[in-house]
Structure 1
Amino acid sequence: MAKELKVALIQTALFWEDPQANRDAFYEKINGVSTDVDLIILPEMFHSGFTMTPNHMDDSEGQKTLEWMLQISRQEQKALTGSIPFYENGDYFNRLYFVEPNGKYHQYDKRHTFTLAGESEVYKGGKKRLVLEYKGFRICPLICYDLRFPVWARNTVDYDVLLFVANWPKTRVYAWDTLLAARAIENMAYCIGVNRIGNDDGGYEYSGHSAVYDSLGKTLVFSEEDTILYATLNKAHLDETRGKLKFLQDRDRFSLED
């Protein structure tokens, strides 16, 4: 039987710099997720919105949200991922956590901080990619602006799923749509993008466009609404596509260095 991974993408508005309100709102939405889902994906900075003033929140909120994620994952028996502002050793990070029901978790710090919004002046950039295995799928989670950098996302390690969480504004959403499909096609992998909707206190409007693309760039799900999107990822699709179209065998070999 083919291996499958069932994912749920939660696309919604966020409360500005209010971690408890966001945790409460996502708790209600997660309670409504289908029982057969394996992985729930939340947007970038889901407990605050895309804030450049994380010091407006208590520095303990990152740890509180990580503990909340661990509790929800264990309670729902589903993996949970999304990014949050996280304070550690004197620095702020835009940090993604991927939490498993057994209490294991993985973390990735956003590599490409968004200089246009001043993110690079507030948050320390990450140094390492994360590739993890969950339920037979190799997953590479990245964050928003990372989408514009194909070298960082390049499938040099045979991952199956490329995953982006974001606060990507409406004014540039065409680039979001185009690059998500391109990342799927060039890497012969599923590509998932989870964005938010609504307006934030920084003056930006968000139109969603969360989506899942298969390894040929075909759109499996897409929405602009406040909703939960569902998709089933299938290993057989990857094996068949990569078996017939051996494009990854011809990829350039390189290593990433600072």
Structure 2
Amino acid sequence: MNLIKFKLLKLQFLFPFLFVNVFAGNPESANNILKTESENLVLTFYNNAHLEAKGLSYDAFKEGITGYLNLLNEGKIQNKKVLSIIDFSQPSNQKRLYIIDIEKSCLLLNTYVAHGVNSGMLYANRFSNTINSRQSSLGFYKAAETYTGKYGLSLKLDGLEENINHKARERAIVLHPAKYVSQNFINNNGYTGRSFGCPAVSYKDHKKVINYIKGGSVMFIYTNKVDKSDSDLSTLPENTTELFSTYSCIAPKKIQPIYTSNE
């Protein structure tokens, strides 16, 4: 029996505990319970993967995993095994690219990544979806096909959010290696070099990065430095518990039935 089938059978056993008498008695309480359980699952994953110790904020992770789960529901993810988060609230002299194993709830790789030359020096503070802006774009991307270009093995990215990053193809925003992303460059300058808007990584790690995320996985570029409007990707879906139980090792706890006074 494969892992997915096993987890779906586990859900068939688990979910009656969630819903016995809850919806019939108090639907609002049921919704609150499910919301709380969903939030607990996100926090449990974050803690199990020890992401705080590696510098990734809970806010960045929650936004990333929330979008991932919604994109999963929409059928827009081919490679469901990993979620990549670039945290541009951190300076470029810190390792701010996180590749997370969804199934095992662990961090696969944490490494340096550059931002656009017109987004800022040490920090990325300005973002754009405009051609020739040479700024980074925020939001959710899908890792598309690989190719060999002037920098070597590289990976094309498709922006998934209208007016935020949907012009990634037109702008030639790709993940590629660069000599200015290295520990030596940082030691000498205090920051990584900057790209024309691409999330450039080191030659030391680029093949590993690309092999982890290629084939349709989700990449999320986060910041806390600009105001962001709510979107369809910013709220945990109603089936969060089911998705966690199916695609990760983080399973919901059994929630006891709620009995109301009119029973």
Task: Tell whether the structures are fold-level matches, with TM greater than 0.5.
Answer: no
Q: Shorter-chain TM-score: what band?
A: under 0.3
Return the structure number with greater strand share.
1
User: Highest Rg: 1 or 2?
Assistant: 2
Return the TM-score normalized by structure 2. 0.25
If asked which structure has higher relative contact order (CA below 8 Å, sep 6+), I would say 2
Return the TM-score normalized by structure 1. 0.25
